[in-house]
Structure 1
């Protein structure tokens, strides 16, 4: 399955595991890479020395390419960047910030840079900043999201019209059929988050994984747009947000309710009532927890079957 993404990353399949906080440690990243995709260590939930440990363990667990995702709003980002350079990480995904800030620094050190966006405007800015590829993430995605609520099937062809570098689609992709759909629309590869959360190797809490499997249509919603838009599973914490919105709260009141470490409390520590449970809409069609390598293999097999079906239409 060779194309611009497999060539860029030197991987077998154009399937990229998302760098999800509290879910994507070295076990998941190395397993996805060994299965032929591109595993990603999510640095957004890691102190610098924790990231160092995860990179070193990943390097021992796989000889294949893997990446590190670094949100640019991270307070110690300079330390994270120094660590990925020091340890010889070859691919970095940046998100949640201006790609101009770190792209030149990384590329001057021989690192492939990919930036995550949620709009055509920022895709163009990322290309102008010199990144090697773009992840365009639609409204369906879990975690922090774009304010414009542009869906993946609208966003991908719109971005494709405006850029020339490789394009990776994200948001609502958990199957080989969805992978084929976005590639027909112009994507060169896919980034998959929610499906990999429900894997044995994900570092998220088992109660959270089970909650993802149990989620149905309409059980997630985008909220907290005044702070940083985030898609959450409905639980007690989510209902507390809704109750506060009914009182027309200030930004400070929303921040006070959110507090600190809500995502860790929910996704990593397993508090299904008071924790922040970030997941995508596609959780509605995720019905089991399985090995990450099996997820990759299933997607590839379904992708090939869907291609054969389309030739018969």
Structure 2
């Protein structure tokens, strides 16, 4: 049963205004299905799958775990050898997916096929100006990523407390707030600031169904809000990752005038994948947000969703409602 109705839940046909972030190596069928089964919106990460055919199999696997709506994240990044985006798009459409989260580059070249087949598009943005452009080109919703987020926060360094209401003042389409969210207090705050829901990555990464090694989850629980590192700042391609010996070395090299070639081997995606597979949190670069300072357990994804929406409703009905005087004196 829907406890909190927003423009996002109405437009995307989900019970609760909670979206699971599309995380590389993490957004697999078991996690996406668990989030959706609990009434949120789970996302399979397309490029975690080695080929478009593998993505089709992963979608089919998710459908054995839930009959509720789930989506696919398609991250579009400029690269020397781009993946076959057109084939991944075709699989998404052919498999009957009706919700796509795009991220990275401008989604416009990818939208015609999706729109033709009734696919709703959520585009992840790190600034109000990018969100307004996404709205102009016709996306159905945006996800606003504040500076607190894991992964790429953009180069403006604007935290959610400012970015979310700034977006609310200018957008007319629904939007969800991302970066720094992990509990009911965050959801209530996001709604108060004008968002229609929240997107959570690190919180869902630290759940039973998250397909990463238990040692990584325990590291998130043990970590606090100070235990992240901003890498690639001098290259203006900032990324927030876990603080470890590798990320600290990357920062040192680049701050001393090094170039990407000097850190290429340290930040290789294969090394980061091994962190998740083997649980050696010092093996490479891996993403986590400031919100790890609020993560103290490893529950099921369903428990996360239910706990957040129930506690959020209690906060709104209880503590916040109780702050308003029944008959304010002197208020016109």
The match for 1:280 is 289
User: How many correspondences in the alignment?
Assistant: 313
Whether 1:46 and 2:55 are equivalent positions in the alignment is no
Offset at 1:256?
Answer: 4.4
Task: Spell out, residue by residue over 1:211-246, the C-alpha distance to the aligned partner (whole angstroms, 9 max, x if none).
Answer: 111111310122213263211111111122133134
Confirm or deny: 8 A CA contact 1:144 1:230 kept in the other structure.
yes
**Structure 1: which 4+ aligned runs deviate by more than 3 Å?**
none
CA contact (8 A) 2:149 2:178 kept: yes
Structure 2 residue runs without a partner (length 5+): 324-332
**How do 1:1-313 and structure 2 match up within 5 A?**
1-47=4-50, 48-73=52-77, 75-225=83-233, 226=235, 228-307=237-316, 308-313=318-323
Instruction: Check conservation: 1:176, 1:302, Cα contact below 8 A.
Output: yes
SS in 2 for 1:61: coil
Q: Structure 1, unaligned stretches of length 5 or more?
A: none
Inter-CA distance 208–82: structure 2 relative to 1 (3 Å threshold): same
Give the Cα separation in 2 of the matches to 1:229 and 1:219.
Answer: 16
RMSD of aligned alpha carbons = 1.4
Residue 38 of structure 1, CA deviation: 0.8
Deviations 1:157-177 (A, max 9, x none): 111122100011011010111
Residue 255 of structure 1: how far off its partner (Å): 2.9
Taking structure 2 as the reference length, the TM-score comes to: 0.91
Q: Distance in 2 between matches of 1:257 and 1:64?
A: 40
Q: Deviations over 1:240-260 (max 9, x none)?
A: 213313431023223344234
Which protein shows a greater Rg?
2
Q: Displacement of 1:144 after TM fit?
A: 2.3
**TM-score after normalising by structure 1:** 0.96
